[in-house]
Amino acid sequence: MKPIYLRLSKPFGQLAVEASRFWGSPALPKGMDYPQYIDDAGDEYPYVFICQINLAELKAFCGDGADPLPPTGLLLFFAKIDHYLGQFAATDCIGGAISAPDAVKVIYVKDCSGLREVVLVDDEDQPMSPDALEISFTREHDPLADDDQALFARPDHREWESWDHPYEDWQILLQIDSFAGMDFNLNFMDFGVLDFLISPEALRHADFSDVRAIVLST
């Protein structure tokens, strides 16, 4: 399964609600709330929205047996990564061991019609997420790139042969690399990566209910 690399850029104009994006606000169906979890203090706390992938934009990479994702719909990625964005008071944090299932939230929306952006704001009514970046896709790896975001990334940052039991055959669904922008600094354990992991069987059935995560730094 070959990696599909994400190239991020500042958008020209407003992105369509259903467009692939990194940061910004997620596009969710009407009636679906912004995903939250229960933190160590027993309070509801929002996940960090990382990105959304419009699967129809991956058509150019389908048909070669390397892309097992559904042909249409929207795949949204959320995670407990506040600490890696500089919010060091956050106690819930993905670390160097494979996480519990509630450390991340991956949502698959089959129908992209009728979606609306859900903007998370702070106490001063200001958006909490960094500005949205546009995503384009390529099979070509750029060795000069400072960051390495990819679907189906190879486990190059793993310093042992396989994932710990019972996740030996799990694969990387999405890899997020450390990088910085004008309004954020994302740093995973000294410039490491965050890997979303999924079992082959779950991926075949488009079941994203038990995705795990791990932070690796080499």
User: What's the CA dihedral at 91, 104, 100, 80 to 10 degrees?
Assistant: -10
For residue 149, how many other CB atoms are within 10 A of its CB?
23
Contact (Cβ atoms closer than 8 angstroms) between residue 26 and residue 34: yes
pLDDT category, 42, cuts 50, 70, 90?
Answer: confident
What pLDDT score does 65 carry? 53
CB 136 within 8 A of CB 7: yes
pLDDT at res. 50: 98
The mean pLDDT value for 81-100 works out to 89
Q: 64 pLDDT exceeds 70?
A: no
Angle formed at CA 164 by CA 103 and CA 211, multiple of 5 degrees: 30
Q: What is the CATH number of domain 4-216?
A: 2.30.320
pLDDT digits (tens, 9 = 90+) for 116-160: 999 999 888 989 899 999 999 999 888 777 678 999 999 999 999
Residue 190, φ and ψ in degrees, nearest 5: 65, 55
Average pLDDT over residues 78-90: 89
**Domain edges within the chain:** 4-216
- Residue 82 corresponds to which tokens in the numbers above? 């506040």
pLDDT at 89: 73
At 1 the pLDDT is 75
Confidence at 59, pLDDT banded by 50, 70, 90: confident
pTM of this structure:
0.95
